[in-house]
Amino acid sequence: MKTIPLFAMTSRDDASVTIPWGAVLSTIILTAGMLTVVQIVVDRPMLLVDRFFPGMGWIEILVLSLYAGFVTPKILNPKTSVRWRTILWLTFSVIFFSQLTLGIFGFTTFLMTGVLHYPVPALIVAGPIYRGEDFFMPILFGSTLFFIGPAWCSYFCYLGGWDFLASQQVKRPRKLSKWRRPKQIAILVLVVGGALYLRFSGIPISIVSRLVALFGLGGFFIIIFLSRRYGSMIHCISYCPIGLVANIFGKISPFRMKIDSSCTSCGQCSMVCRYDALRPENIKQKKPGLSCTLCGDCINTCSNNYIHYSFPGLSPQAARTLFIVIVVSFHAVSIGVARI
């Protein structure tokens, strides 16, 4: 029997793909390992099944691990990776907002701490600054950046998936203003400064809650009206301060997207990039822009494989497979635990 290397995937000329059993097994083991740590170490049950049926958390770990193994080949196959990335992304978002809805109606068992929080990504930074405590979400967000860089924005952001769908209404992204980045920086400064001001100003929490709600509604307005118009994820790359934080601090991860020097600058990749990271000047410089989230949608559009993942010491194929193994494992773990 022919052995398959740990991070190998062999494509055929037809639609079939040899199952990368090494990658599948790696994803199953990594998912099971992380969920086992959650099950054993955390005092309060974090696995949702365990909260309703004590002792059944181990069954949930098995199911989610097998689910991760099933999904891995779908994401690894370049022909189906974009569709399955979208499916995973929206699946997480639907589960997230379903738990939020149940929490609103008083089913606090579905909530991480039993306390309802606004589903606004900016609160990952602004919330702890305002409260002066409870840094669990920034730590969780930071650990994600450490392992997969800014891919939090293209796999795990509960609003990003809908922004992506809205941007898909336009076949080719339109050119955006050069002020896009300065605006996002200004919003980040405003959010951080506003959180500090509200913390020490003595403004009633009811008013603070309304301000947060307005900020969140502004994001939905941008997704519905601007992302659909421009074909780019305007909320993620121009409005959301967490997107900017992920782009900057995501550089701590060793994963990168590289463009080979032999690239002909045909521009095909820029037609599928909804993060405005593959402008003509970026392609000319052979380096995706700061707003790249390592989503990988551009890879399958390059017929000559000029654009690819990179990781120190690994080939492009192995780097991509390692990245997908980590991302899918994190996705399965995120589905299985309480949040909000």
Considering the domain architecture, whether residues 70 and 21 belong to the same structural domain is answered as yes
**pLDDT at res. 339:** 64
On whether residue 298 sits in a domain, the answer given is: no
What average pLDDT does range 183-203 have in this prediction? 94
Query: How far is residue 104's CA from residue 332's CA, in Å, rounded to a whole number?
Result: 24
On whether residue 147 sits in a domain, the answer given is: yes
Considering the domain architecture, whether residues 159 and 248 belong to the same structural domain is answered as yes
Q: What is the pLDDT of residues 104-161, one digit of tens each?
A: 777 777 776 656 567 889 989 998 999 887 787 888 899 999 999 999 999 999 999 9
The position carrying tokens 């008013």 is: 207
Is it the case that residue 9 has pLDDT exceeding 70?
Answer: no
What share of the chain has pLDDT > 70, as a percent?
92
Considering the domain architecture, whether residues 59 and 98 belong to the same structural domain is answered as yes
Angle between helices 21-41 and 57-76 (to 10 degrees): 150
Considering the domain architecture, whether residues 53 and 140 belong to the same structural domain is answered as no
CA dihedral of 15, 16, 19, 24, whole degrees rounded to 10: 30
On whether residue 71 sits in a domain, the answer given is: yes
Q: What is the pLDDT of residues 264-275, one digit of tens each?
A: 999 899 999 999
On whether residue 83 sits in a domain, the answer given is: yes
Q: What is the pLDDT of residues 44-61, one digit of tens each?
A: 788 888 888 888 999 999
What average pLDDT does range 202-207 have in this prediction? 90
pTM: 0.89
Neighbours of 66 (CB within 10 A): 16
Q: DSSP 3-state assignment of 322?
A: helix
Considering the domain architecture, whether residues 127 and 176 belong to the same structural domain is answered as yes
Considering the domain architecture, whether residues 121 and 110 belong to the same structural domain is answered as no
On whether residue 194 sits in a domain, the answer given is: yes
Considering 253, 278, 298, which residue would you say is the last residue of a domain?
Answer: 253
Q: DSSP 3-state assignment of 258?
A: strand
Considering 235, 253, 271, which residue would you say is the last residue of a domain?
Answer: 253
Considering the domain architecture, whether residues 133 and 72 belong to the same structural domain is answered as no
Query: How far is residue 266's CA from residue 188's CA, in Å, rounded to a whole number?
Result: 35
Total tally of structural domains belonging to the chain: 2
E strand segments, the chain = 256-259, 307-310
**Where do runs of H (alpha helix) occur along 121-203?**
123-131, 136-148, 152-155, 160-167, 180-201
> Which run of H or E residues covers position 218?
helix 205-222
Query: How far is residue 286's CA from residue 292's CA, in Å, rounded to a whole number?
Result: 13
Considering the domain architecture, whether residues 210 and 222 belong to the same structural domain is answered as yes
The position carrying tokens 């194929």 is: 317
Considering the domain architecture, whether residues 111 and 123 belong to the same structural domain is answered as no
Query: How far is residue 102's CA from residue 109's CA, in Å, rounded to a whole number?
Result: 9
Q: What is the pLDDT of residues 133-149, one digit of tens each?
A: 778 788 889 999 999 99
The more confidently predicted of residues 307 and 44 is 307
**pLDDT at res. 110:** 75
Query: How far is residue 308's CA from residue 294's CA, in Å, rounded to a whole number?
Result: 10
On whether residue 259 sits in a domain, the answer given is: no
Is it the case that residue 210 has pLDDT exceeding 70?
Answer: yes
**pLDDT at res. 131:** 86
Considering the domain architecture, whether residues 122 and 234 belong to the same structural domain is answered as yes
**pLDDT at res. 44:** 76
On whether residue 55 sits in a domain, the answer given is: yes
Give the domain extent around 181.
117-253
Number of helices followed by number of strands (H, E) in the chain:
15, 2
Identify the DSSP state of 150: G
Considering the domain architecture, whether residues 244 and 154 belong to the same structural domain is answered as yes
On whether residue 337 sits in a domain, the answer given is: yes
Considering the domain architecture, whether residues 122 and 87 belong to the same structural domain is answered as no
Write down the mean pLDDT value for the chain.
89
**pLDDT at res. 114:** 58
Is it the case that residue 16 has pLDDT exceeding 60?
Answer: no
What average pLDDT does range 195-219 have in this prediction? 92
Q: DSSP 3-state assignment of 17?
A: strand
Please state the length of the chain.
340
Banded pLDDT at 219 (limits 50, 70, 90): very high
CA separation, residue 288 to residues 29, 273, 298 (Å): 32, 10, 11
